Copies of this chain bind each other. A is one copy, B any other.
Amino acid sequence: MTRKAAPPQAEDNSRRAELVRTAARLFRDQGYERTTVRDLGNAVGLQSGSLFYHFRNKEEILVAVMALGITSTTEQLAAALEVAKTPYDKVSALIHVHLNSLLGENQAALEVMLYEWRSVSAEQKPGLIVLRDRYEALWQSALDEAAAAGVVGQDTRLLRRMVLGSLHWSVQWFRRDGGDSVDALAERMLKLVIGPRPQAD
């Protein structure tokens, strides 16, 4: 039975999931506006018209990429925070998870979420903002814990925005072949944000 394209969340369909992953890479590399549906069709071995069986229109592909980027990062962060014991470890988790989601291999969707926001229509933004706020809430409570423990300063809302901005920008200059691994970079960044790991006393 023919059906109309599913909502962004439903990634159970593996064909659709593959399209979203490929689109994420193309949108990251070339930008959303410069990537044509023909480009995407070529990359997955479909005629451009066939894409519209899976998605109502091009924007729906963009929204699906963004939703994937932010939800998968949120899940990974929630799991890492679950494991972290100290406030210090939690802040470390924020930076490691976020940086790996941005810079790790086969990671492109989160970067699209960050840098193609302007191409999302007003109708589609609210749904994505909900997802983004959920992610930032994890950050905020981890930072608030750290502030309560004296690990970071009190201006945690601005701190959250500055640290996230620092990490986001890394996509512009980080080169995987340039020395630091992603996790090594995360450690250096952590030290600039929070200072060296406290020793047991």
Where the two chains meet, the residues of A that have a C-beta atom closer than 8 Å to any C-beta of B are 30-31, 33-34, 115, 117-119, 153, 155, 158-159, 161-170, 172-173, 188-189, 191-192
**B169 x A164 contact (CB < 8 A):** yes
Say which residue of B34, B115, B170 sits within 8 Å of A161 (CB atoms): B170
Are A165 and B169 in touch, CB under 8 angstroms?
A: yes
Taking each of A158, A161, A166, A173, which has the highest tally of chain B beta carbons within 10 Å of its own beta carbon?
A: A166
Distance (Å) between the CB of A164 and the closest chain B CB? 7
Q: Determine the distance from Cα of A191 to Cα of B34 in the docked complex, in whole angstroms.
A: 40
Q: Taking the full assembly, how many copies of this chain does it contain?
A: 2
Interface of A: prevailing SS: helix
- Which residue on B lies nearest to A167, using beta carbons? B165
Shortest beta-carbon distance from A104 to chain B in Å = 18
A170 CA / B169 CA spacing, docked (Å): 12
User: Considering only CB atoms, which chain B residue lies closest to A29 in the complex?
Assistant: B118
Contact partner of A118 (CB less than 8 A), chosen from B31, B163, B167, is B31
Q: Is the CB of B119 within 8 A of A192?
A: no
Is the pair A189, B31 in contact by a Cβ cutoff of 8 Å? no
Nearest-neighbour CB distance to chain B for A78, whole angstroms, equals 23
Residues of B with C-beta under 8 A to A168: 165, 169
Contacts of A158 in B (CB 8 A): 188-189, 192
Chain B residues contacting A192 (CB-CB under 8 Å) are 153, 155, 158-159, 162
Bound CA–CA A172/B192 (angstroms):
23
CB distance from A110 to the nearest CB of B (A): 14
Docked Cα-Cα span, A191 to B188, in Å, equals 20
Measured CB to CB, the closest approach of chain B to A95, in angstroms, equals 11
CB-nearest residue of chain B to A117? B172
